Amino acid sequence: MLIDTVIFLPLLTALVLLLIPRAATSVQKGVALAGALLTFAFSLAFLSLGPNVAADQTIPWISGPWVAAYHVRVDALRLFFVLLTTLVSVACIWAAFSYAHAQRLRGYLCLLLAFETTLLGLFTAADLLLFYLYWDLMLIPVFLLLTGFADHPGARQAAWSYLIYNGAGGLALLLGIVALVSQSHTFELGTLALRLTGPAEAWIFIAFALAFLIKTPAFPFHSWMPPTYTSAPPPVVAMVSGVQSKAGLFAMLAFALPLFPHAAHAFALPLLVLAVASVVYGAIAAMGEQDMKTLVAFSSLSHLGLVWLAFFAFDITSVSAGILMLVSHGLIAAALFLLLGFIEERVGTRDLSRFGGLAEKAPRLGVMMLIAAMAALGLPGLSGFAGEFLILIGSWQTQPVFTSIALVAVVLACVYMLKLLQGTMHGPVRVPDERTVSEMRPREAWLLAPLLAGIIFLGVWPGWFNDRTPSGTGANTIVGAVLAEPGQR
């Protein structure tokens, strides 16, 4: 019951919103935020599960010829993805209050809430059919938000780019699932214990991996990302980069690696190459970027590339730290994109060469930007470092060469994050068109505070996170299953 409540409360809130008159924006805001907050509050209850207990619910759905069930589950692997979704959603829905067109606010909030439900559905689905449904449903709210609610001139083209790319990925995933189910006759993961071998396993794994590489994205499948991230309204991009970008890597760990262990090991090398290419290419592109949102978009490419490295290094530390990195990156990316939204609202441009020195006018904005940027550049003591360090110490043990190349990006991250931080906040005050830069409003500060608190907490005590996620201990077999040599299984 709790799982259903958490998954569908946002959607229910969205439906309630539709009953509220279009003009009553303050009521809409109250209802939307209350819905998001309640969802978050309910999702916190999963924390009491303990590392080896899962909240699990199965309703039979299709009995033949292919068995499928409405099977949802919150376990140690899924817990923090659920929490990340509900937490980031609260911040994003709150941030959406400043949406410029009051007439369309209702639709905007509805779509954000619907997006939250699809994300929660995706992270809790334990049945491949259900998983696939959410995987494609996710595209719809984002597409509509981009085409209908973004003021950016390039948003329409970005929306199509997003839809086509991710649709293609979805198609690959679908073909993979179909091929898989044609052999297993069931979508149920628990019974999907078949061991495929040979070309079938390889091809299905490739189909899965392709979908996940596009969704994350990883080099060279990322070209939908810069336009989407740049033109989407800040709350949307915060949800896409903060939460949705984790879908591919989450699914890799939850589905693909346990299902196709032989293929995963066989294709580790090309995937490691793509991982490190993402890490380095993203960092270089971010260094050269003048548009602050595109800069952070490329930094995401770089940071998530590190998680690909973590998973395909097949070291227990790096795989487990990869989960930490995903959650940490979710918090950091959401915080950064929301902050950039506040900045763009104040100066009316994203071009780093056209403004600067905002910390002088808005010191609190400066401090929050400092924390977020320092976390992104991997300052020890913040969550970005914890994820990065634990990944690299693990991957070094099995893949020292790839890890060394990835280490170069640590230095580059410092270069581009300082470019962002100093370009926006420090130096002489420069603001285009005589705009007045105001200090952060309390709403803006409060909606960011939980994200920043999470960044600091996970940086100071990642062990708390380790003990609640699969880290090779207890009955958490996921990481163990991933790591076991295929021959010994």
Partner 1 sequence: MQGFLTTAPFTILSLPLLGTIFIALVGPRVHRSVSAVIGNLSILGAFVLTAMLAWTVWHLPPDAQVVTVKYPPAWAAHPVFWAHIPPLTISFEMRIDALALLWMLIITGVGFLIHLYSVGYMADSHGYRTFFAYMNLFVFMMLLLVMAGNFLWLLVGWGGVGLASYLLIGFDAQRTAAVLAARKALIMNVIGDVGIMVAIFLMYAHFGSLSYKEVFGNVSAANTNALDWIGIWLLLGAVAKSAQLPLQTWLPDAMEGPTPVSALIHAATMVTAGVYLIARAHPIYDHAPFAAMTVAVIGCATAFFAATVGTVQYDIKRVLAYSTMSQIGYMILAVGVGAYAAGTFHFITHAFFKALLFMAAGIVIHNLDGEQDVRKMGGLAKRMPLAFWTFLIGTLAISGIPPFAGFFSKDAIFDQLLTHGHPVLWAFAVATALLTAYYMFRLLFLTFLSGDYRGTREPHAASSTSMAVPTSILAVLSVIGGWLVLPGHDAISAKLEPVFAGALPEMGGINAMVTGIAIAAALVGIAVAWALYGRASQARTKLRTVLSPLRALLLNAYYFDTIYHWLFEVPALTVASDVARYVEPDGVGGFTSGVAGATTKIGDVMRSWETGYLRRYGLTMVIGMVLVLAFYLYLVHGAAAVGMK
Query: Footprint of partner 1 on residues 404-463 (CB under 8 A)?
Result: 404, 407, 410-411, 414-415, 418, 422, 425-429, 461-463
Give dist(CA 123, CA 231) in Å, integer. 26
| 466 part of the interface to partner 1, by CB under 8 A | yes
Task: Determine the interface stretch with partner 1 among 30-38, 240-248, 315-323, 343-351 (rule: CB under 8 A).
Answer: 315-323
In order of 69, 216, 223, 265, 308, the CA distances from 161 in angstroms are 33, 15, 8, 32, 23
Residues 18-37 that bind partner 1 (CB under 8 A): 18
| For partner 1, the closer CB: 42 or 203 | 203
Helix H or strand E segment including 311: helix 292-312
Which of 13, 117, 186, 403 touches partner 1 (CB under 8 A)? 403
Structural tokens at position 315? 């070291």
| For partner 1, the closer CB: 324 or 335 | 324
Which of 211, 386, 455, 482 touches partner 1 (CB under 8 A)? 386
Q: Which residue has the tokens 């705009």?
A: 435
Question: CB of residue 73 vs partner 1: minimum separation in angstroms?
Answer: 22
Which of 54, 179, 202, 456 touches partner 1 (CB under 8 A)? 179
Question: CB of residue 410 vs partner 1: minimum separation in angstroms?
Answer: 5
Amino acid type, 196: L
Q: Name 111's Cβ contacts closer than 8 Å, sequence gap at least 6.
A: 14, 141, 144, 145, 149
Burial class (CB in 10 A: 0-12, 13-18, 19+), 442: exposed
Dihedral in degrees, nearest 10, Cα atoms 80, 85, 87, 92 = 160
Which of 50, 60, 380, 432 touches partner 1 (CB under 8 A)? 380
Q: How far is CA 266 from the centre of its chain?
A: 27
Measured from the Cβ of residue 475, the count of other Cβ atoms closer than 10 Å reads 13
Residues 150-169 that bind partner 1 (CB under 8 A): 156-157, 160-161, 164-165
Please provide residue 421's backbone torsions phi and psi, each rounded to the nearest 5 degrees: -65, -50
Helix (H, G, I), strand (E, B) or coil at 408: helix
Residue 267's nearest CA partner among 320, 308, 318 is: 308
| For partner 1, the closer CB: 270 or 381 | 381
| For partner 1, the closer CB: 41 or 191 | 191
Q: Name 41's Cβ contacts closer than 8 Å, sequence gap at least 6.
A: none
Which of 20, 37, 133, 481 touches partner 1 (CB under 8 A)? 133
Residues 195-254 that bind partner 1 (CB under 8 A): 219-220, 222-224, 226
Residues 93-132 that bind partner 1 (CB under 8 A): 103-104, 106-107, 110-111, 114, 132
Residues 352-371 that bind partner 1 (CB under 8 A): 357, 359-360
| For partner 1, the closer CB: 124 or 403 | 403
Rg (CA), the chain: 21
Please provide residue 26's backbone torsions phi and psi, each rounded to the nearest 5 degrees: -70, -35
| 8 part of the interface to partner 1, by CB under 8 A | no
Task: Determine the interface stretch with partner 1 among 262-270, 303-311, 312-320, 336-344 (rule: CB under 8 A).
Answer: 312-320
Between 261 and 290, how does the x/- string for binding to partner 1 read (CB under 8 A)? --------------------x--xxxxxxx
Number of residues that bind partner 1 (CB under 8 A): 94
- Say if residue 65 is preceded by a cis peptide, omega within 30 of 0: yes
The residues that bridge with 125 in the sheet, in sequence order, are 72
| For partner 1, the closer CB: 40 or 105 | 105
Q: How far is CA 377 from the centre of its chain?
A: 18
| For partner 1, the closer CB: 107 or 258 | 107
Question: CB of residue 41 vs partner 1: minimum separation in angstroms?
Answer: 26
Q: Are 366 and 373 in contact (CB under 8 A)?
A: no
Give dist(CA 298, CA 226) in Å, integer. 7
| For partner 1, the closer CB: 35 or 40 | 35
Q: Name 363's Cβ contacts closer than 8 Å, sequence gap at least 6.
A: 439
| For partner 1, the closer CB: 41 or 477 | 477
Between 46 and 85, how does the x/- string for binding to partner 1 read (CB under 8 A)? -------------------xx-------------------
Q: Name 35's Cβ contacts closer than 8 Å, sequence gap at least 6.
A: 9, 10, 12, 13, 14, 16, 113
Question: CB of residue 324 vs partner 1: minimum separation in angstroms?
Answer: 9
| For partner 1, the closer CB: 43 or 399 | 399
| For partner 1, the closer CB: 41 or 475 | 475
Which of 51, 148, 480, 486 touches partner 1 (CB under 8 A)? 148
